[in-house]
Structure 1
Amino acid sequence: MSKRSVLLATLAAFLALPALTERDLVPSLENAPNVCADRPAEPDWMQNIALREAYKRVLVQDIYSAQNLERVVEESNCDCDTRFPSWDAAEAVFFERFADAERWEMLEASDEFNRRSSAARPEAMAICEDAGNW
């Protein structure tokens, strides 16, 4: 075999490798979390919200995340009930403060709750890693 043939065969095998690995990636339809498998489901209204109003669902998710990470830090506790409580408190904040807000106000609020989550995340992560819940 000539040097050129070996080079072409090696190149062909190299180029085929990504296609083989991509083909082997099969998405899982399961949405089972790695920790705290018994998390409460999102409220029905959030799961069934119209696509045009998805920003409302995102805001409630952002509120939920910020509240929960802050609670983990405040209590220095990362059991599943602390990290993933019911959605009631997040829904209450949404309905009390944002139910009648304009879309842009909700987007700004999402940014603020994301900042709060980001601020609490490092300390919450350390607490939860120690508890095996991260």
Structure 2
Amino acid sequence: MRQAQHLALAALALSLTPTFAVAERNLVPTLDRSFDVCPDRPAEPVWMQEIPLRQAYQRVLVQDIYRAQNLERVVEIGNCDCATRFPSWDAAEATFRERYASDERWEMLQFSDAYNRRANAARPAAQAICDAAGNW
């Protein structure tokens, strides 16, 4: 009886293999970014995209600053149009350059964590505003 069950399972697995292969082939990652919400959002600054891997923590900090600033702005003004939710990177980049660019790696990681906490605190209120606007 057990052998029959094992054979049935093996036959089922073999019959599904082509289906899995086709599904896997359709999940090829792409470098093109497309968004369902606010598809015309600005690209990251070129220097961030080209940053060496050993300095990726700098890019992460700017991304965290950008996210926190934008979610807080949505809550402050009670508006979630695309220009408010995804403005240019200028303000986040300026904050990074003025306050953090000369800091050590460990300091940037701490600031990144702080910006993540700020963004997470603003997220529920921002999400409610953005859901109402259809931009979440």
| Counterpart residue identity of residue 100, structure 2 | F
From the superposition, tell whether residues 123 and 10 of structure 1 become closer, same or farther in structure 2 (CA, over 3 Å): farther
Shift of 1:71: 0.5
Shift of 1:10: 2.9
| Structure 2 unaligned spans of 5+ | none
Shift of 1:15: 4.2
Partner of 1:27: 28
Report the TM-score, using the length of structure 1 for normalisation. 0.88
Shift of 1:55: 0.4
Q: 2:5 aligned to 4, 7, 10, which one?
A: 7
The C-alpha deviation readout for 1:70-124, integer Å capped at 9, x for no partner, is: 0111111110000000000001110110011011110000000000010011111
Shift of 1:126: 1.1
Q: Please, which moves more after superposition, 96-105 or 17-26? A: 17-26
Partner of 1:54: 56
Q: How far apart, CA to CA, are the structure 1 residues paired with 2:79 and 2:21?
A: 40
Q: Please, which moves more after superposition, 20-29 or 44-53? A: 20-29
Q: 2:105 aligned to 90, 103, 109, which one?
A: 103
Partner of 1:130: 132
| Structure 1 unaligned spans of 5+ | none
From the superposition, tell whether residues 81 and 23 of structure 1 become closer, same or farther in structure 2 (CA, over 3 Å): same
Q: 1:72 aligned to 71, 74, 77, which one?
A: 74
Matches within 5 A, 1:81-120: 81-120=83-122
From the superposition, tell whether residues 18 and 50 of structure 1 become closer, same or farther in structure 2 (CA, over 3 Å): same
Report the TM-score, using the length of structure 2 for normalisation. 0.87
Shift of 1:6: 4.6
Q: How far apart, CA to CA, are the structure 1 residues paired with 2:123 and 2:4?
A: 52
| Counterpart residue identity of residue 61, structure 1 | Q
Q: How far apart, CA to CA, are the structure 2 residues paired with 1:18 and 1:95?
A: 52
From the superposition, tell whether residues 24 and 74 of structure 1 become closer, same or farther in structure 2 (CA, over 3 Å): same
Q: How many residues align?
A: 132
